[in-house]
Amino acid sequence: MANSDLNAAKKAKKDEFYTQLSDIQEELRHYKEHFRGKTVLCNCDDPRVSNFFHYFAYQFEALGLKRLITTCYKNQTPDLFSQNDSERAIWLEYTGDKNGNRIPDPEEIGIRQFEGDGDFRSQECIELLEQADIVVTNPPFSLFREYVAQLVKYDKKFLIIGHQNAITYKEIFPLIMENKMWLGYGFKGGAAHFISKYEDKATAGDHKEGMIRVSGVVWFTNLDHQKHHEELILYRNYTPEDYPRYINYDAIEVSKTCDIPADYYGLMGVPLTFLDKYNPEQFEIIGQSLDLADMAVIRKRLGKSGGGPRFYIEQDGQLRRLFERIVIRRRPRQSCES
């Protein structure tokens, strides 16, 4: 699914992307120590079809959970998953196995109806949010800013799915810059297949029946994990020829994360994909080109507007406009005291 299609889906509020159980299992296996004794909330899921509910209910005892809550937004129109356009919003609660078979049987799951529509912003859902320790879900892409703002407001731990373009949002980037939010382990190949009724435009080799392929999706979290502390191995050496300076910002261009020079401690511009390897103990994030690019310099050179704020380099006598860049700087190595 191209970004243009994803953006069109966002504008149309087409947010029904149901996550595969295999993708949930693959990511959640890295965080098991965080869940013991905790209440988990999945507040953007239909628990009747949600694989988030399935995962946590069947792993309840293994994870040592205290309580599982999932909520469902009222279906306004018939869709693939519900043929009833008057269906009430509900929430489910599970507190573990009661009959000894270690399976979440229907009689062990409490089902309650909301008075309202089950929107995560409603007071009913906020009251459930306040009771939770960790929120794990796939929130609507079109409401991602509002969703994260609510998690921050109520100081919640979270593990959620979003598109990597959200990194550049003015509401999201400061959280990453201040190390209050970072990326998880991610989806294989930087893309995921979601259960969805929308048209899939993936190539034949990537197509899965009844699913839609979305590229650039990532896990966002504030739960600590090992990958967040792994040091990126650097092997390239800096030369002015290999690393041109930007025309409109005092930093060098590093077009691939793997090409970050090992002997350079000045400012560098790197692609958004750098955040998949970001270790805050090794690097410091300075800002993003959306905020730092001096477009007056470009307008003077071109004699016209150069488009939105981006960094430029000179290549073969021409100005080349780059994709969004994050500006970073290596932290100096701490010397060991004997």
At 251-285, the pLDDT tens digits run 999 999 999 999 999 999 999 999 999 999 999 99
Cβ(135)–Cβ(44) below 8 Å? no
Residue 297 has pLDDT above 80, yes or no: yes
Q: Are 40 and 139 in the same domain?
A: yes
Question: From CA 68, how far away is CA 55, in angstroms rounded?
Answer: 11
The pLDDT, as a whole number, for residue 85 is: 46
Which residues does residue 261 pair with via DSSP β-bridges, in sequence order? Answer: 236
Whether residue 241 lies inside any domain: the answer is no
The pLDDT, as a whole number, for residue 47 is: 67
Whether residue 335 lies inside any domain: the answer is no
Which of residues 12 and 18 earns the better pLDDT score?
Answer: 18
Q: Are 112 and 39 in the same domain?
A: yes
Residue 335 has pLDDT above 90, yes or no: no
Lowest mean pLDDT among 8-12, 214-218, 281-285: 8-12
The pLDDT, as a whole number, for residue 214 is: 75
Q: Are 144 and 287 in the same domain?
A: no
What's phi and psi for 79, nearest 5 deg? -145, -170
Question: From CA 14, how far away is CA 79, in angstroms rounded?
Answer: 12
The total of structural domains in the chain comes to 2
Q: Are 209 and 305 in the same domain?
A: no
Q: Are 51 and 171 in the same domain?
A: yes
Q: Are 216 and 273 in the same domain?
A: no
Question: From CA 171, how far away is CA 166, in angstroms rounded?
Answer: 9
CATH number at residue 79: 3.40.50
Q: Are 138 and 176 in the same domain?
A: yes
Q: Say how far residue 89 (Cα) sits from the centre of its chain.
A: 26
Residue 33 has pLDDT above 50, yes or no: yes
Which residues does residue 192 pair with via DSSP β-bridges, in sequence order? Answer: 214
Which of residues 196 and 237 earns the better pLDDT score?
Answer: 237
Q: Are 49 and 128 in the same domain?
A: yes
Select from 9, 326, 29, 287 the least CA-distant residue to 159: 29
Q: Are 279 and 218 in the same domain?
A: no
Cβ(136)–Cβ(40) below 8 Å? yes
Q: Are 213 and 302 in the same domain?
A: no
Domain that includes residue 20, residue range: 3-227
Q: Which residue has the tokens 């953007």?
A: 44
pLDDT above 70 covers a percentage of the chain that reads 82
The pLDDT, as a whole number, for residue 122 is: 94
The pLDDT, as a whole number, for residue 75 is: 60
Residue 206 has pLDDT above 90, yes or no: no
Say if strands 157-163 and 109-113 run parallel, antiparallel, or are unpaired: unpaired
Mean pLDDT of 9-21: 56
**Taking all residues of the chain, what is their mean pLDDT, rounded to a whole number?**
85
Whether residue 158 lies inside any domain: the answer is yes
The pLDDT, as a whole number, for residue 84 is: 46
In a 10 Å sphere around its CB, with 0-12 CB exposed, 13-18 middle and 19+ buried, how is residue 89 labelled? buried
The pLDDT, as a whole number, for residue 5 is: 43
Cα-based distances in Å from 239 to 155, 234, 253, 259: 45, 15, 11, 12
Select from 328, 295, 320, 327 the least CA-distant residue to 309: 295
Q: Which residues of 4-15 are buried (b: 16+ CB within 10 A; e: fewer)?
A: ebbeebbeeebb
Whether residue 80 lies inside any domain: the answer is yes
What confidence category does residue 306 fall into, taking pLDDT thresholds of 50, 70 and 90? Answer: confident
List pLDDT tens digits, range 112-151. Answer: 999 989 899 999 999 999 999 999 999 988 999 999 999 9
The pLDDT, as a whole number, for residue 88 is: 78
The pLDDT, as a whole number, for residue 14 is: 47
Residue 296 has pLDDT above 90, yes or no: yes
Q: Which of 172, 192, 227 lies at the terminal end of a domain, its last residue?
A: 227
Whether residue 222 lies inside any domain: the answer is yes
